[in-house]
Amino acid sequence: MSKPISGFSKLSKSKKIEWIVNTYFSNNKIAKQILEQYWNTNENIQQLHDEFIENTITNYYLPFGVAPNFLINNKLYTIPMAIEESSVVAAASKSAKFWLDRGGFKTKVISTTKIGQVHFMFFGNSHHLISYFNHIKSRLLEDVKPITKNMELRGGGVIDIELRDKTEDIKGYYQLHVSFETLDAMGANFINSCLEQFAKTFKEEALNFKDFTTEEKNIQIVMSILSNYVPDCLVRAEVSCKIEDLNEDKDISPEEFVSKFVQAVNIAEVEPYRAVTHNKGIMNGIDAVVLATGNDFRAVEAGVHAYASRNGKYSSLTHAKIENGMFYFWMEIPLALGTVGGLTGLHPLVKLALELLHHPSAKDLMQIVAVAGLAQNFAALRSLTTTGIQKGHMKMHLMNILNQFGANEYEKATIIDYFKTHTVSHSAVVEILQNLRIKN
Ligand code: MEV
């Protein structure tokens, strides 16, 4: 058992590594070598990474890939994706190509409002609280002016503040429920700074409110924080085409394909066990672009899954229908994204990703990300309802298995060639590799 360490964050990077490798690893030399292999040789880039978080001891790389041929509202995009899962970029590219010939993706931003809340306790007369709120509301807005000034100049800022009575849920619990427009910023810092100022003013000015009793003057602020649930920061992406144009799979007619596809979506709409996996596939596309563009994928994940449960039961994010000989497939999802602030101006790869996307506004990025999600779901359902998922997935996973067993270039080429006409499975790959090694 290792002993606790105090003052770890104050140690130099090399001292931190020394302590880690000597405390936890049987072979400290190899552990150190691995950590060092992932350092960037460019000192400036390494320093940037070191300073993103506390206690950086190395970098953790993910592949950064691209999926070309995405036609979105008649404009072509190559979409950057940071992800480790073998088949995701291939599936996105396949979907993009498929819809490129069928009119592409159509998207629309429905709304861009974000929410933050000051949660507080008040145990007095609620009418007194309401009159205090009405009295103080303009002062609350006045006191955040130093924070909101620049955002307001660009057309954003605080949209409204409401007092919400939550005392039916918890005795004495109220909120200042605040809506914001943060334009091209994801807005977490802006929103949280505003909320903390609201909380300060709200608590302090209560002491001077003459209609409060002495007890009522003691408003207890519990916390001030943005919400990652953003059902009013919503984007829609859709594709549609004539059923007869869904004719790329040789083994299945367009009619049979479309009918199975719509059934698959309907199943995800009513069956939570399926819906979670269905939506996970959508998030394969969404997270990869969110990550590549320096956005907060945990915030997006939390908000999207809450939205998928908004009617009281976890359900599919995508929907599909057949109408008058046409196939329609669409999704509306909440996405709070930024293209300024945060990592977007700091991380060289994020800057590159944004340039690749023609320097999108946050609204543009919402649409691109939604398309990546819809495309991913289309690819997954297309495979699932026709060949099954494993064929394509294992084909992409083949290289991982070969690398796991240290295959050399000759072995890789031979085995990849063999599996062009055979079904990939872990055991089949191992067997062939062993046979090859015996022969040579
Ligand atoms: C795998 O990462 C994602 C899928 O399971 C999604 C789905 O089942 O729709 C293939």
Q: What is the pLDDT of residues 68-118, one digit of tens each?
A: 999 999 999 999 999 999 899 999 999 999 999 999 999 999 999 999 999
Which residue bears the tokens 């869904």? Answer: 246
pLDDT confidence band for 66 (50 / 70 / 90): very high
**Is 296 known to be catalytic?**
yes
Q: What is the pLDDT of residues 306-351, one digit of tens each?
A: 999 999 999 999 999 999 999 999 999 999 999 999 889 899 999 9
Decide if 381 contacts 261 (C-beta within 8 A).
yes
Q: Which of 128, 177, 280, 319 is catalytic?
A: 280
* pLDDT of 218: 97
Q: Nearest Cα to 73, choosing from 358, 337, 381?
A: 358
Q: Which of 181, 238, 287, 296 is catalytic?
A: 296
Q: Which of 13, 49, 85, 363 is catalytic?
A: 85
Q: What is the pLDDT of residues 138-169, one digit of tens each?
A: 999 999 999 999 999 999 999 999 999 999 99
Query: Hey, whose CA ends up nearest to atom 10 of ligand 1?
Result: 380
* pLDDT of 392: 73
**Does the CB atom of residue 380 touch ligand 1 within 6 A?**
yes
* 431 exposure class (CB count in 10 Å sphere: 0-12, 13-18, 19+): exposed
What tokens appear for 294 in the block?
């320096």
32-41, long-range: CB < 8 A, 24+ apart? 34/58
pLDDT reading at 394 higher than 90: no
Q: What is the pLDDT of residues 233-257, one digit of tens each?
A: 999 999 999 999 998 887 899 999 9
Instruction: Compute the mean pLDDT over every residue in the chain, rounded to the nearest whole number.
Output: 96
* pLDDT of 421: 87
Name the percent of the chain lying above pLDDT 70: 100
Q: What are phi and psi of 328, to 5 degrees?
A: -120, 135
Q: What is the pLDDT of residues 350-376, one digit of tens each?
A: 999 999 999 999 999 999 999 999 999
Give the span between the Cα atoms of 219 and 207, in whole angstroms. 9
Under the phi-then-psi rule, with left for phi > 0, alpha for psi from -120 to 50, and beta for the rest, what region is 172?
left
* pLDDT of 214: 97
* pLDDT of 250: 79
Query: Hey, whose CA ends up nearest to atom 1 of ligand 1?
Result: 281
* pLDDT of 298: 98
* pLDDT of 343: 87
pLDDT confidence band for 132 (50 / 70 / 90): very high
* pLDDT of 149: 97
pLDDT confidence band for 284 (50 / 70 / 90): very high
pTM of the model as a whole: 0.92
23 C-alpha to ligand 1 centroid (Å): 39
Query: Hey, whose CA ends up nearest to atom 4 of ligand 1?
Result: 281
Q: Nearest Cα to 294, choosing from 254, 350, 360, 374?
A: 350
